[in-house]
Structure 1
């Protein structure tokens, strides 16, 4: 599983990995078929029951302590937010009373994403805030866009947003998503109006540039 990153060694990689296109194409041809674990099915069932399919759904992927999930819930009262992380320790540090439109669950995202796709769930918004960059050259397959599960993500629809303080991660994410969708995908440097998590606030306060890729998959004909 991937989690928010600290300052990334910029010398680790200087551009899009030369094997990324090959890897994405292989994963499109060969769907990920690892068996889904029972504890992830149970977590998924809990989350689906809490949601109830009554409101648009926001997924906060690898939510860590759930701080970003809480903010998403508060900012989007007409939606339901599911925050997923594989670390029970991180999730139990969530402070205060959670919004009524939020459910935090411990699960492996690889299985959770596939279960959402199996059920035919369409997301309103899909957030991947500051995933672990795995910056070494040999780490490509550990980055979400290099993982075999990646082609499942655009199947879930919604507005998908990836943020990172490592430019290459977002650049690669946009490239890989574009490879799956068959069109160019934009990315940009940005300054948040309000930090979405303690990690983002830390990066802003330290003067690090931040990057994001935002794509509206609610209409595949739309521009990036």
Structure 2
């Protein structure tokens, strides 16, 4: 299974289907989500994330148009595409890896993005960044989580975003939340967690037509490997 946090895995070889030891939705999912919804996550903030957040806070609050959050953005292909597709929006890409956010992908970019400047890509720990965004009540119109690391082993349920302690902040952010994955069960679990917090959503197949650009290198890799990709849209 490729590591969705490793950009090299997205660019080489065939992608293997996800293998899990779960028979279906994790048996403790609802218990875990309810626990996190009823307890405040008080982990101390890391300084590099506080610094990154503070550098953007005034710009976001002063922005006159939509703000789009692109979480787990990796090398930032999705951030740049979203910025091109939404020229009146400020698109903020966030990833935990300094190597990924500083990697120059533009010379190999699948479409022309000359003149596209309405985006920021920063390094931050999303376990901290999400809480800061929720507390500051940033006006996020759309919140993307595209192809997160699936953590398919049952024992790793709390490493998936819907099983993490920060989930109550995640689900607050964005008028619309969009997740994509090549593992439908991940999206099914996230949808259950969203419903427990009072939000509804729908899972659909991703169908790219000729001329469509995959939004991330992983989406391109999965589709080229013959895998079905899925989208969860939460309103």
Judge same fold: TM > 0.5, yes or no.
yes
Match of 1:3 in 2: 5
Match of 2:137 in 1: 120
Structure 2 residue ranges without an equivalent (≥5): 107-113
Contact 1:133–1:166 (CA under 8 A) maintained in structure 2:
yes
Contact 1:50–1:103 (CA under 8 A) maintained in structure 2:
no
The whole-number CA distance in structure 1 between the counterparts of 2:196 and 2:5 is 24
The whole-number CA distance in structure 1 between the counterparts of 2:115 and 2:163 is 33
Q: Of the candidates 77, 101, 121, which is equivalent to residue 67 of structure 1?
A: 77
- Structural mapping, 1:1-224, within 5 Å: 3=5, 7-51=16-60, 52-96=62-106, 99-181=116-198, 185-193=201-209, 194=212, 195-216=214-235
Deviation of the 1:7 alpha carbon: 3.4
The alignment partner of 1:155 has SS state of coil
The whole-number CA distance in structure 2 between the counterparts of 1:105 and 1:202 is 24
Contact 1:186–1:213 (CA under 8 A) maintained in structure 2:
yes
- Residues 111-141 of structure 1 show CA distances to partners (whole Å, capped at 9, x for unaligned) of 1111111111121110000000000010000
Contact 1:63–1:84 (CA under 8 A) maintained in structure 2:
yes
Deviation of the 1:94 alpha carbon: 3.1
The whole-number CA distance in structure 2 between the counterparts of 1:82 and 1:94 is 17
The alignment partner of 1:212 has SS state of strand
RMSD: 1.9
The alignment partner of 1:10 has SS state of coil
The whole-number CA distance in structure 1 between the counterparts of 2:46 and 2:115 is 27
Contact 1:47–1:105 (CA under 8 A) maintained in structure 2:
no
Task: Name whichever of 48-57 and 122-131 sits farther off.
Answer: 48-57
After superposition, the Cα gap between the structure-2 partners of 1:99 and 1:45, relative to the gap in structure 1 and judged at 3 Å, is farther
Contact 1:175–1:185 (CA under 8 A) maintained in structure 2:
no
Contact 2:68–2:89 (CA under 8 A) maintained in structure 1:
yes
Structure 1 residue ranges without an equivalent (≥5): 217-224
Deviation of the 1:145 alpha carbon: 0.3
After superposition, the Cα gap between the structure-2 partners of 1:191 and 1:39, relative to the gap in structure 1 and judged at 3 Å, is same
Contact 1:47–1:82 (CA under 8 A) maintained in structure 2:
no
Task: Name whichever of 74-83 and 192-201 sits farther off.
Answer: 192-201
